[in-house]
Structure 1
Amino acid sequence: MFEPSQADVRRFFCSVYAKWRKAQPMDALETLASQWVAEHPEYHADFSDEATALARMYDVKDGKINPFLHVSMHLSVSEQCSIDQPRGIRQAVELLTARRDSLHVAHHDTMEALGQMIWESQRSGRPPDGQAYIDAVQRRATQD
């Protein structure tokens, strides 16, 4: 299994940002990542300086979102939908997208559910509960 380090992830997004800005060729994953980078101009400064990106720590207590984690979660949701894993995530995100009238907003809602699933797994010491994750996204898609 591919397990990139924090530095690998940050280098990847800095590289994607540089290629995107210069309109350079990208592979499929870089192209997908660049689409989410483009959706988040508030993070462009974070992606523009690799040395600073590698040294910077993002602490929740500081109230600043980690842009590398945030865009990584967008990629995760995109990949999950592309292969429908866990089974049912594609349909749930599609329903949520229609409900929110925005793929981006639907991703943010889905990312909250994904984060909750990961937190529950870590807290309990059990494997992630994919069905609870799907259920949470579906609830968001059907709430009034």
Structure 2
Amino acid sequence: MFTPSQADVRRFFCGAYDKGRRGLPMEPLEQLAWAWIEHHPEYHAELADLNAALRAMGQADPDRDNPFLHLSMHLSISEQCSIDQPPGIRQAVELLATRRNSLHAAHHEVMACLGRMLWESQRSGRPPDGLAYVAEVQRRATAG
């Protein structure tokens, strides 16, 4: 399993932003990151300054989103859907995206489910419950 450091994650997203902005060739994962970055212009200033992003590590601001965590969650959900792992997540996300008329909006709802699953796993000391996670996304997709 690949476990990048916080600095690695920041370098990756800042690099993808720079390449995308300048129209440079990108690796497939960078292309996916760029696609999500384009949906979040509110993060562009932070992504444009790698040195500032590295200096800001560990300085949590409870009043705003962490762009690196947020974009990482977009990538995680995209990867989960691409391999349908946990089983059923692809269909649940697709249904939610259809209901919301937006894959981006659906991802933001799925992030809440993913965050809850990870929080509950950490709190209980048990592995993440993928079945409960998929069920929660499905509930959101089928709720009126």
Where does residue 98 of structure 1 map in the other structure?
98
d(CA) in 2 for partners of 1:141 and 1:101?
A: 11
The alpha carbon displacement at 1:60 in A equals: 5.0
Any idea what the Cα deviations from partners look like across 1:72-109, whole Å, max 9, x if unmatched? 00000000000000000000000000110000000000
| DSSP 3-state at the match of 1:37 | helix
Where does residue 33 of structure 1 map in the other structure?
33
Which one-letter code corresponds to 1:70 in the other structure?
H
User: What is the number of equivalent residue pairs in this alignment?
Assistant: 143
Where does residue 132 of structure 2 map in the other structure?
132
d(CA) in 1 for partners of 2:54 and 2:43?
A: 14
Distance 1:125 1:40, change over 3 A: same
Moved over 2 A (4+): 57-61
1:66 aligns with 2:80: no
Contact 1:58 1:66 (C-alpha < 8 Å) held by counterparts: no
d(CA) in 2 for partners of 1:46 and 1:16?
A: 13
Unaligned runs of 5+ in 2: none
The alpha carbon displacement at 1:55 in A equals: 1.2
What's the C-alpha RMSD, in Å, of the aligned pairs? Answer: 0.8
d(CA) in 1 for partners of 2:111 and 2:44?
A: 20
Which one-letter code corresponds to 1:5 in the other structure?
S
Any idea what the Cα deviations from partners look like across 1:108-138, whole Å, max 9, x if unmatched? 0001100000000000000000000000100
Where does residue 87 of structure 2 map in the other structure?
87
Q: Calculate the TM-score normalised by the size of structure 1.
A: 0.97
d(CA) in 2 for partners of 1:17 and 1:60?
A: 22
1:78 aligns with 2:81: no
Distance 1:105 1:65, change over 3 A: same
Which one-letter code corresponds to 2:98 in the other structure?
A
Distance 1:58 1:115, change over 3 A: farther
Which one-letter code corresponds to 1:9 in the other structure?
V
Q: Calculate the TM-score normalised by the size of structure 2.
A: 0.97
| DSSP 3-state at the match of 1:115 | helix
Distance 1:87 1:58, change over 3 A: farther
d(CA) in 1 for partners of 2:140 and 2:40?
A: 23
Which one-letter code corresponds to 1:59 in the other structure?
A
